[in-house]
Amino acid sequence: MHDIVLIPGDGIGPEITKAVTTIFQEAKAPINWIECSAGLSAHEELGNPLPEETLEAIKKYRIALKGPLTTPVGASFRSINVALRKKFKLHSNIRPAKTLPHIESRFDNIDLVMFRENTEGLYIGKEKWIQEDEHAESIAVVTREASEKIVRAAFEYAKNNGRKKVTLVHKANILKYTCGLFMEVGEQIAAEYPEIEYEDLIVDNMAMQMVMYPNKYDVIVTTNLFGDILSDLASGLVGGLGLTGAANIGDDAAIFEAVHGSAPDIAGQNKANPIAFLLSSLMLLEYIGEQEVADTIRQAIYETLADKSVCTPDIGGSGSTTTFTEAVCERLA
């Protein structure tokens, strides 16, 4: 049995968490969940959006599955997702976007993996407001160390998974120091992997290329802000935010989560698509070496997608979170 921290999160979080735990139980996945809280629900119930017990549990068990956490807009607490990434130095955010069977999307055979630097760039939270002349400032930080970690992670993944090409995305023409350093690191590390094709693209061009010729791309590596935006774009290419999982990997901990947020517009309505969170939980199973049970659950999910009467409305279904979960469980049984 593996002890894994489970944070159901906010909005649709508890509904998609229930889907994962129910399916894992049916598949006899050898997981012992250690349930903890974080986010807006923890803020409201416990007065702290990131309770000490949750931090201690992640420190102790090192691997967590985390539902989406709401970040209130404006002057409330800052993003707990960003805080967790910083606290546990989760330098690599990995988001695969792969065409799923029976899901209609604009393109076929998409199989991209996005590596997003997760701890710095414009997301370090160094912002200030200067009242006198009413202006705001935000600082971006890029270090050689973090750039090397994410670029190396992308090349290692490419090497170990038979991938052919790594594309580094930047804006070094304008952001000469921050993106310039990221690009320099990319070129240095690429030279160590001569068997893997390497290219770099400016982010605005990449956004256009991805919507016109997504099949040209394989592994993509980029800075925090660009990765945030382009990975949602990549989700859109394969059918939407409800269909892509993500891993946040660091040296001492790993936190798996869906790409999407807490979807307050549909929370509590049994409409949330659990597939993204399920795919994240399969990435977790693979990470801890439970490949066989991950493959079994993935197969059951793929087969279930053929029956639109049990799928959620966001993918053209007439079912719900629970009908999809039950149908996957029936296949597993």
In sequence order, what are the residues at sequence separation of 6 or more whose Cβ sits closer than 8 angstroms to the Cβ of residue 296?
Answer: 27, 332
- Three-class secondary structure of residue 256 per DSSP: strand
- Residue 58 touching ligand NAD (CB under 6 A): no
- Residue 239 touches ligand NAD, criterion: CB under 6 A: no
In this chain, which of 52, 108, 195, 265 binds ligand NAD, going by CB under 6 A?
A: 265
Exactly one of 166, 185, 220, 263 binds ligand NAD (CB under 6 A); that residue is 263
Cβ distance to ligand NAD smaller for residue 242 or 250: 242
Choosing from 10, 66, 157, 171, which is the catalytic residue? Answer: 171
Q: Which is nearer to ligand NAD, 21 or 178 (CB)?
A: 21
Contacts of 191 (CB under 8 A, 6+ apart): none
- Footprint on residues 107-146 left by ligand NAD (CB under 6 A): none
| Binding residue (CB under 6 A) for ligand NAD from 179, 272, 293, 311 | 272
Q: 177-189: string of b/e by CB count within 10 Å (b at 16+)? A: ebbebbbebbeeb
User: 4 - beta bridge partners?
Assistant: 33
Sign, CA dihedral 258-262-263-269, equals positive
Q: Which is nearer to ligand NAD, 147 or 248 (CB)?
A: 248
81 binds ligand NAD (CB under 6 A): yes
Q: How far is the CB of 277 from ligand NAD (least distance, A)?
A: 7
Cβ distance to ligand NAD smaller for residue 41 or 167: 41
Among 71, 99, 178, 222, binds ligand NAD (CB under 6 A): 71
What is the pairing mode between strands 111-117 and 92-98?
Answer: antiparallel
Please list the alpha-helical segments (H only) found in the chain: 13-26, 40-46, 52-61, 80-87, 144-160, 178-190, 203-212, 224-237, 275-287, 291-304, 321-332
Binding part of the chain for ligand NAD, among 82-90, 146-154, 160-168, 260-268 by CB under 6 A, reads 260-268
Contact 163, 113 (CB under 8 A): yes
Nearer to ligand NAD, 73 or 333 (CB): 73
Does residue 217 carry a catalytic annotation?
A: no
Question: Whole-number minimum distance, CB 262 to ligand NAD, in Å?
Answer: 4
Size of the site for ligand NAD (CB under 6 A): 20
DSSP, res 307: -
CA distance 259 to 10: 14
- Regarding 43 and contact with ligand NAD (CB under 6 A), the answer is no
Which of 248, 255, 201, 203 has its CA nearest to residue 230? 203
Query: Active site residue: 3, 204, 251, 295, which one?
Result: 204
314 belongs to the binding site for ligand NAD (CB under 6 A):
yes
Residue list 273-302, contact with ligand NAD (CB under 6 A): 273, 276
Please tell me whether residue 242 binds ligand NAD under the rule CB under 6 A. yes
Contact between 260 and ligand NAD per CB under 6 A: yes
Please provide the DSSP assignment of 5-50 as one string. EEE--STTHHHHHHHHHHHHHHTT--EEEEE---SHHHHHHHS-SS
Catalytic-residue membership of 307: no
- Residues annotated as catalytic are 123, 171, 204, 228
Q: Which residues bind ligand NAD (CB under 6 A)?
A: 12, 68-71, 81, 241-242, 257, 260-266, 272-273, 276, 314
